[in-house]
Amino acid sequence: MAMAAPTGSAAPVAPALCGHLALLLLLAVPAAHGYSFPQQHTMQYWARRLEQEIDGVMRIFGGVQQLRGIYNENRNLFEVKENVPRKLVEKVAGDIESLLAKKVRALKRLANAAEKFQKAHHWQDNIREEDIEYYDSKADTEYDDPDGEEIEREKSNSLKLEFTDDANFKTKVNYSYAAVQIPTDIYKGSTVILNELNWTQALEDVFIENRKEDPSLLWQVFGSATGVTRYYPATPWRAPSKIDLYDVRRRPWYIQGASSPKDMVIIVDVSGSVSGLTLKLMKTSVYEMLDTLSDDDYVNVASFNEKAKPVSCFKHLVQANIRNKKVFKEDVQGMVAKGTTDYKAGFEYAFDQLQNSNITRANCNKMIMMFTDGGEDRVQDVFEKYNWPNKTVRVFTFSVGQHNYDVTPLQWMACANKGYYFEIPSIGAIRINTQEYLDVLGRPMVLAGNRAKQVQWTNVYQDALGLGLVVTGTLPVFNLTEDSSDRKNQLILGVMGIDVALNDIKRLTPRYNLGANGYVFAIDLNGYVLLHPNLQPQIINFREPVTLDFLDAELEDENKEEIRRSMIDGNDGQRFIKTLIKSLDEQYIDEVFRTYTWAPIKSTNYSLGLVLPPYSTYYIQANLSDQILQVKLPNIKMKDFEYLLPNSFESEGHVFIAPREYCKDLDLSDNNTEFLENFIALMEKVTPDSKQCDNFLLHNLILDTGITQQLVDRVWKDQDLNTYSLLAVFAATDGGITRVFPNKAADDWEEEPEPFNASFYRRSLDNKGYIFKPPYRDAGYRELDLENNTIGILVSTAVELSIGGKTLKPAVVGVKLDLEAWAEKFKVLASNRTDRDQLGSRRCDPLTSCEMDCEANNKDLICVLIDDGGFLVLSNQEDHWYQVGKFFSEVDANLMSALYNNSFYARKESYDFQSVCAPEAQSNTGAAPRGVFVPTVADLLSLAWWTSAAAWSLFQQFLYGLTYSSWFQTEEVAGDSMEARETSCIMKQTQYYFSTVNATYNAIIDCGNCSRLFHAQRLANTNLLFVVADKPLCSQCESVKLMQAEVRAPPRDPNQCELVDRPRYRKGPHICFDYNATEDTSDCGRGASFAPSLGVLLSLQLLLLYSSASRHPLPPAACL
């Protein structure tokens, strides 16, 4: 433990008197060698010397005062503009509303046309595949066998099209045709599919007309209830390298458009009669059922035999978000079959769950999904008690596996409760039968007619065809035909969708006039971000939508919770708050002030927000038109522009320009030298006031080029950097210029050329004084060729201007310290050597007691400078020099723990839900989500097994395998192009930051005979902590090592079981369609059976087991 003796007015409660006495005695009593631990006033004196040295260097080389003067002298070249938050939010919200409204008009035109075309279509029983002309998007797709052999492509009558590259779609397209995608497990020659292809062909003309009216339209898609997808413009399908399992009906945007939100309870029969294979089929069926749910839905899963119990820690309905569904999927694997079947227990549990009104839920469609191998009880008394006569809960029953049970009771349960009965005899029937219930839920929507024609906008997700992150507007398409009795058809035809790329929405938002730390964001009714600078998912080809909550995109606090609630409620507002933010490099925490302003985006379910720091209320707008007009003569360039040319770098310092879209024809590049060359080449062709260029960006860039060059002439050129042990001086500006002097220092410059993306730049704006930034070293860093490496430490500070009473921070200046030279200087400044004593430190003999210092006694005394994140900056220990930049606990865990325990540092833990990780090793004992089911030895010896569902299931798998051999393998792997099979994961992040304590602190680290004294003092006007401590005499005083490095979150961390009991505020869609008095429920399920011969099954099984012995994983389908 550490016993402290604080000083100052804000000291914490004093420790016990004996602690004080022990500290005073240790401070006063000299050690055996005649030295005593430095007194507090001595260390405060050292701290002042350090502060003065840092301030002196920054005043000479930083040039803050001189840069202020340069800006004032050039007042005629720029104006100071104001950001008015409410006006900005109002304008951007209106622009986004207009953009989406154009897409909605096209969407409605398509939906109306589809209903019209289908109503006019005449069904053809004898239609043939050769009668239909269409482009099969998978006809040109190459599938490779896992063993390297090309799989023979099935014959196709697909049209042969030519494609051209298109910048908007980032792929090759053909604007004259639409493309068709049909799921692999659907026979494209069936009568249903051919009729669907026939009538949807007329949509192509509407697609083309829509694009003529709005050339900015991206993918226009019709997802049919039969599984057919027709999209425009045509492009080859971007299928995985093996088998394509994409089915539009399982995509979140389709599910959202095809039904109202759902409250679902899944109950699974785990009685002893459920065989091993049947139980595995049930587990896989639950997986697939969960994948039909979106974030607007709520769900719980329970198993039952004589009693019912939840399969997970969730005791009530929970939101069907990705994290909760993952918990269900993991826990479903633990279900074990035993006992006897009691349907009553299962249904009573389910009805109790649905009647619980004390929790957040969808409050729309209510349903129970029961998976069982069969039974005789109809539990009519349960339905009479809970569900009749209103039948507000639909019951769907699933008979799983092949067996000889009477299925009549299961059919009756579904038919008597407005549900549907399904059979799942094998793995091949799971996908189709776990999604067809959506047709039943769509009936009230169809019968509601135009009232149900509500355009909905989806969560963010990754486009399957390469557009990147998109949102989709959806609109259901209804069957308007009537039967012979003039009764309305109640089937949904499908869902129409139109994509909008997030980048197109971002282009409508202001960026550079908001400064480095200002930004725009938007959220939906779930609180998920549509726009946010921290929305950066790492997985490129994932199946799930991107669901990053606003409170996870930022560091959560009460103010932000209230802002989020107000935005979800559709209100507008403004609030000035003090909050914590994470640095761009995620190593630091800063306490800052921000103004949040928000308003709804009308006609959508989104809300827009703007975040501005106080210093971004005003910004500079250069106006160089007069100067540009004066140099339009041939071969004459603006003088400021000349300083961007590389031939000026040797005398004026190296210039990095931010890779911004200054002009339309400018080729962007991650290589700054190449980008600068592209920029200069373009400037030789156009003038800075050209209409194809962004005048704001370009004029500000040229202005800042000239201003920073004047700083070189007035300050940097006249100084000798070596005299003060500096490797470089630099200036970075809002206009996008980073100038590093001298030119050779650019070789070691590792900061981002875009100042707004540089951590030092953004932190300097948010913090007063001088911000030190050592080079980051993780715990595993080892010194390599250190003889030839010069380590530099950045020190930066913001330039604050006051022009006409308007305060702004348009630039950051700083220096780069030579680590080794400044470590020596640090030792001298923290020593007993006086300014006059240049010969050496004062010496003590054993008979004369004097205080130790950081120079003469570096073998006994540790002296360090640690920054506000807990990272080592300087040390008097030479073996520490190459640990500079490491978290200090990696250097001295005992001392760092003492600093934390004495409240010098506070800790903030948060989670990154967008990370990517290598997959964890999989157990070979569990059933894979969509894997081949391998029978046990006992199964193989059982004749009953060979004649049961298992053989029939494997027979169906075999049929798929004849076409696609990789069908037998699991699908749970990542994107097809990722060799490492990386997966999305949650990372736990820990940052440390200064807490509000005294500037000075003395304490003892009590380790018995190995106690250590230490003194800690904050350095004024910096982000540094000066610490002096005894070297540890022995290692028996063990401390818990503080961890700062990002680590993969343990399973269930953050604790999902606790989080669901305090769910975040959200709202579902405004309108619910779960009931219509005219609904016809007579179509409620059908049974089917097939009894293959034993001989055929035996032969197929042996062939199947042989065929599946050496297969490899297949990748999933992506989202469209």
pLDDT-based confidence at residue 639 (cuts at 50, 70, 90): low
Say if residue 84's pLDDT is above 90: yes
Query: Residue 1051: which of 985, 990, 970, 972 has the closest Cα?
Result: 985
Dump pLDDT digits (tens) for 868-881: 999 999 999 988 88
Looking at residue 950, what is its pLDDT?
45
Say if residue 317's pLDDT is above 70: yes
Backbone φ and ψ of 220, nearest 5°:
-110, 125
Looking at residue 835, what is its pLDDT?
55
Q: Is 96 helix (H, G, I), strand (E, B) or coil?
A: helix
User: Residue 712 CA to chain centroid, in angstroms?
Assistant: 41
pLDDT-based confidence at residue 36 (cuts at 50, 70, 90): confident
pLDDT-based confidence at residue 647 (cuts at 50, 70, 90): confident
Dump pLDDT digits (tens) for 354-378: 999 999 999 999 999 999 998 899 9
pLDDT-based confidence at residue 241 (cuts at 50, 70, 90): low
**Residue 190 amino acid letter:** S
Dump pLDDT digits (tens) for 683-725: 888 876 788 889 999 999 999 999 999 999 999 998 899 999 9
* Structure-token match 């190995």, residue found: 1010
Q: What burial class does residue 947 get, using C-beta atoms within 10 Å of its C-beta: 0-12 exposed, 13-18 middle, 19+ buried? A: middle
Q: What is the mean pLDDT of residues 962-974?
A: 35
Mean pLDDT, the chain, integer? 84
Contact yes or no for 409/377 (Cβ under 8 A): yes
Give 64 or 627, the one with higher predicted confidence: 64
Say if residue 493's pLDDT is above 90: yes
Give 139 or 435, the one with higher predicted confidence: 435
Dump pLDDT digits (tens) for 1072-1086: 999 999 999 999 986
Say if residue 127's pLDDT is above 50: yes
**Residue 639 amino acid letter:** K
Say if residue 387's pLDDT is above 50: yes
Dump pLDDT digits (tens) for 872-913: 999 999 888 889 999 999 999 989 999 998 889 999 999 998
Q: What is the mean pLDDT of residues 813-826?
A: 95
Q: What is the mean pLDDT of residues 997-1003?
A: 67
pLDDT-based confidence at residue 1051 (cuts at 50, 70, 90): confident
Q: What is the mean pLDDT of residues 118-125?
A: 94
Give 543 or 602, the one with higher predicted confidence: 602
Sign of torsion over alpha carbons 510, 514, 517, 521: negative
What the block records as the tokens of 4 is 């402290």
Say if residue 1114's pLDDT is above 80: no
What the block records as the tokens of 653 is 């310092």
Say if residue 171's pLDDT is above 50: yes
Dump pLDDT digits (tens) for 900-953: 988 899 999 999 988 888 776 554 433 333 333 444 434 444 444 444 444 444
In the chain, what is the greatest distance between 2 CA atoms, to the nearest angstrom? 117
Q: What is the mean pLDDT of residues 546-556?
A: 94
DSSP assignment letter at 1117: P
Long-range contacts of 19-26 (CB under 8 A, 24+ apart): 19/1004, 22/1004, 23/1002, 23/1003, 23/1004, 23/1013, 26/1004, 26/1011, 26/1013
Say if residue 15's pLDDT is above 50: no
Say if residue 744's pLDDT is above 90: yes
Looking at residue 461, what is its pLDDT?
87
Dump pLDDT digits (tens) for 247-293: 999 888 899 899 999 999 999 999 999 978 999 999 999 999 999 99
